[in-house]
Structure 1
Amino acid sequence: MSEYKCIDSQQAAEMVNQGAAVADIRDAASYASGHITGAYNLSNDNLQDFLQQADPDQPLLVCCYHGISSQPAAQFLADKGFDEVYSINGGFEGWRVEQPTLCEQ
């Protein structure tokens, strides 16, 4: 069984620039108001589609509001067979301050 790792926004930004996937587990309205460039808004409604379509061999970053909810979500995805899963410390709130050039609305 794989386990997720916690990383800071600088490490996460480097991974995003190298093609890592990003799953944003915040609600749709929060995601729409701003998110990490290229992030997929993952919810219970589209979880099965995501699991079927995502590449389990590609590094996967999980983002929430402050870096707390992303930890159990990251472990869940690791348990589902994703090899390299990371929770972003500080969540999107930290990301938007530390990595503003890698945000979209």
Structure 2
Amino acid sequence: MKFKIVYADELDKVIKAKNAMLVDIRTREEYDKSHWKAAVSLPMDITDSYEELLNKTQPVIFYCTHGGSSMKLARYLGNRGFDTATVIGGYNALCGYQKKLQKYG
């Protein structure tokens, strides 16, 4: 297992500390509707192109809706030499964290 796990409440700190790229692997329609700030859209349907599109020297954090698909992708690319991580709980966890921040500050 060559990938890391990132929790929603630590995502922004990890991105900043590692100068990581945040990748939303949901459909383009889902991304256009709503996405986490600073995320780029690379939908799962281009999986074969990830190795060509990503830089092995820059850490990459993936997220999907619930976290399962991004975990599989992070594991796959991690085993191929990329520095990868996945957001546990995916976009749903990020939205939950954001609501908690809005409610409690």
Q: TM-score, with normalisation over the residues of structure 1? A: 0.77
Could you say if the C-alpha distance between residues 45 and 53 of structure 1 is closer, same or farther in structure 2, counting changes exceeding 3 Å? closer
| Residue matched to 2:87 | 88
Residue matched to 1:45: 46
What is the RMSD of the two structures over their aligned residues, measured on CA atoms?
2.2
Name the CA distance, whole Å, in 2 between partners of 1:81 and 1:4: 10
Q: Which has the higher helix share?
A: 2
Q: Which residue of 1 aligns with 2:56?
A: 56
Gaps of 5+ in 2: none
Computing the radius of gyration from Cα coordinates, the structure with the larger value is: 2
Q: What amino acid sits opposite 1:24 in the alignment?
A: D
**Residue 41 to residue 47, structure 1, CA distance change in 2 (3 Å):** farther
Q: Please say if 1:22 is aligned against 2:19.
A: no
| More RCO (CA 8 Å, sep 6+) | 1
How many residues get paired? 98
Percent identity between the aligned chains?
A: 23
Structure 1, gaps ≥5 residues long: none
Q: What is the aligned partner in structure 2 of residue 97 from structure 1?
A: 96
CA distance in 1, matches of 2:4, 2:47: 24
- Please say if residues 9 and 98 of structure 1, whose CA atoms lie closer than 8 Å, have aligned partners that are also in contact: yes
1:20 counterpart letter in structure 2: A
